[in-house]
Chain A
Amino acid sequence: MADPDPIAVKWDLRLYVAGQTPKSVRAFANLKRLCEDHLSGQYRIEVVDLMENPMLADGDQIIAIPTLVRKLPEPIRKIIGDLSNTERVMVGLDLRPAAAPGPRNPEPIP
């Protein structure tokens, strides 16, 4: 994987895992595929193995494994699970609207 241009990185993603479990491996594969499909050249994935650095779990309030944290763009979003449900991952990353958006802040009737 070629390092993307830091200035072009719009998507800063961090994947928390705990050792090389099937779930973690699956999650990373799913994430990689999805990013290549939709965010090619604009993303960076950092994998944090809590088995090696358990203290890092506090900062992002990690409970579930695996957890994907979208550091950028803000706001921070958390996606847990093995990322097998692509639809939900897209929603979680704000790559696709969750549903048909309803009227927002309707104009008051004059």
Chain B
Amino acid sequence: MVSDYRFPKCPTGIKGLDEITLGGLPLGRPTLVCGAAGCGKTLLAMEFIVRGAVEFNEPGVYMSFEERSEELAQNVRSLGFDLDDLVARGQLVLSYVRVERGEIEETGDYDLEGLFIRLGAAIDAVGARRVALDTIESLFSGLGSEAILRAELRRLFQWLKAKGVTAVVTGERGDASLTRQGLEEYVSDCVILLDHRAKEQVSTRRLRIIKYRGSSHGTNEYPFIIDEQGIDVLPITSLGLNQEVSSELISTGVPELDEMLGGGLYRGSSVLFSGTAGTGKTTVSATFLEAACRRGERALYCSFEESQSQTVRNMRSIGLDLQPAIDRQLLMFHATRPTQQGLELHLANIFRLIRTFQPRSVVLDPVTSLLGSGNDMEVRAMLVRLLDTMKGLGITCLFTALNTGAGYVEQSDVGISSLIDTWFLMRDIELDGERNRAIHVLKSRGMAHSNQIREFLLTSQGIRLRPAYLGPNGVLTGSARLLQEGRDEAQAELRRQDIDRRQRELEREQQLFAARMAALKATFQARAEELQRGLGELRASESLRRSNQQDLAESRRAGAPAEGGAHG
């Protein structure tokens, strides 16, 4: 039996986190956020409170055990959070609890009722629905009696639940446990682990939901970034392979390439151009994006090798001006060094751009550069996630891959061929002391594509493809092709001349025929006129003769006594 009961949740408003938690944190219960120093616990707790107040109109209490209220307000101002304003509007209470062991002497039994009273007063002051306690473990360093503390913490979380507030409790990562003081023992409804790892000098923040009682959740480690808008967890959800596919064809920007594919690329498909250095991969990418922009669509160019200005300049040399598309804000460049940041961060940034810029086409040029910032498996995993997301959004994506070394061409370095719908292989062909570019379709899913190898020309009018000639030594390109084309041209000329000759002959015949016809017609007309004339004369003389006879007959009847007897 399928229950339609939905676990009540409290949306955090933090980008991506609500997607992973399928709606937010458990409503009216405490959630533990743990991680090492500097992993973003405070910010997550703060963003939960601030977004609650700003976006969901739920007032909150932020109780800090580490930072003064003024420091906190200052720290998060750069993220666009104006705590003072929220406090002034009665949406937020900032409470700083200072515990210093040196000042405190313990002389017997006590409890933490003071803390309860302060928290309770703060909650009541604004009618808070959300509470953050950051980091409550500081109490352990300030107060000596662990037994009392543990009992009181247990009571505190029960009390928070009874109050019905959704709480975020932060805790420092311990050596053997999630938190130093084992807070997970008390806060067991939802546990989120933040991590900040550096690998090969590149650090990446990650978030993982360890536990979420009563609800399913994403179990992966999700990279997240802290940027000028706060925390951004990557919404890489398990999209699976059930995306809607489009049968709309879009142009690659090169008519001949479209023709090779039988009309163009499917929208939302993935295309790979792989080849050795200098085979024109970037040019194809730029042409593809420029064509998208000319259709009025937004396009994103993620370049891992060249800067924007360099690409724009280089493309001018083949008559492709990207500047108008950039000026119209249809084309966005995202040029970074692969080693500048970790893979996850690359991915995070690209995702963010996809979300904010909403392009219909995306180019990654070249994906193989990312090998520098991770191992094959990671790159592959990243591309799978990127592709899944883009397919889910119906974005057409074009990757380029740099192949190193001969004999390796039919295998892309990143091993992503299985993810790719359409794969063009670009290669150099060396023949007769020349090096020429050639391109062919290695595969194209669901399309009747050309099996031809074509020569790939970069002209001042952009990319041109020529059918490549097959000679005794293989494909003919460059001068060899030109020679062949010359021969063909000569033969064609001969044929053309032959046709011309025959055409002229035919015309001559026709003229002759027409002349003869004219002469014949003239003779005929002359003869006809002559006959007409003769006929006329004869008819005239005949009628004269009749009239004479009549006159004669009448004169005879005048002499006779009775009329009519003679003829009857």
Interface residues of A (CB under 8 A from B): 16, 18, 23, 26-27, 30, 50-51, 54-55, 57-58, 61-67, 76-85, 88-89, 91-92
Contact = CB atoms under 8 A, between A and B. Distances in A.
A81 B114 contact: no
Contact of A18 (B97, B103, B113): B113
A82 B118 contact: no
Interface residues of B, number: 24
6 closest A-B pairs (Cβ-Cβ)? A92-B105, A81-B108, A54-B121, A84-B108, A65-B113, A62-B114
B105 A57 contact: no
A16 B112 CA distance: 12
B120 interface: yes
B107 A82 contact: yes
Given A80-B107, A81-B109, 4 more contacts: A61-B98, A63-B118, A64-B143, A80-B143
Given A54-B120, A63-B97, A88 B114 contact: no
B107 A84 contact: yes
A80 B110 contact: yes
A66 B107 CA distance: 10
Contacts of A91: 105
B99 interface: yes
Contacts of A61: 97-99
A58 to B, nearest CB: 6
Interface string B99-128: 100011111111111110110110000000
Contacts of A76: 103
B109 A84 contact: yes
B276 interface: no
Contact of A55 (B111, B113, B121): B121
Nearest to A85: B107
Contacts, number: 96
Given A62-B114, A63-B97, A77 B106 contact: no
B106 A50 contact: no
Nearest to A16: B114
B393 interface: no
A63 to B, nearest CB: 5
A44 B335 CA distance: 71
A65 B106 contact: no
Given A54-B117, A58-B118, A81 B112 contact: no
Interface of B: 95, 97-99, 103-115, 117-118, 120-121, 139, 142-143
8 contacts: A27-B108, A54-B118, A57-B118, A63-B115, A81-B110, A83-B107, A83-B108, A89-B105
Contacts of B120: 54
Nearest to A89: B107
A63 B99 contact: yes
Contacts of A18: 113-114, 117
B257 to A, nearest CB: 71
A23 B118 contact: no
Given A80-B106, A89-B105, A64 B114 contact: yes
Contacts of A66: 110
A78 B112 CA distance: 14
Contacts of A50: 113-114, 117
A67 B109 contact: no
A77 B108 contact: no
A58 B96 CA distance: 8
A82 B117 contact: no
B107 A58 contact: no
A85 B109 CA distance: 9
Contact of A57 (B104, B108, B114): B114
A24 B117 CA distance: 15
Contacts of B117: 18, 50-51, 54, 57, 65
A88 B105 CA distance: 7
B110 A64 contact: yes
Contacts of B142: 63
A83 B108 CA distance: 6
